[in-house]
Amino acid sequence: MKTIEKQFDAVKFMRQQRDKMSEKLSTMTKAEIVEYFKTRKAQTSVKPANQGVTN
């Protein structure tokens, strides 16, 4: 079996993002966390790719 060199390691990236988020949230109160996610949800512009598409 050949070893394939990855250009992008999705598992490593996800772990880094999770650790970064955990560090950020660990200093917040419960109310601050709720407000953070409400604000974050309003700012996020990523939508599912097939939303509103009819075949």
For residue range 24-44, list pLDDT tens digits in order. 999 999 999 999 999 988 887
- Alpha carbon separation from 49 to 32, 41, 45, 54 (Å, rounded): 31, 17, 12, 12
pTM above 0.85, yes or no: no
Q: Where are the domains of the chain?
A: 10-41
Distance CA 8, CA 4 (A): 11
- Rounded average pLDDT over 2-27: 92
Distance CA 38, CA 34 (A): 6
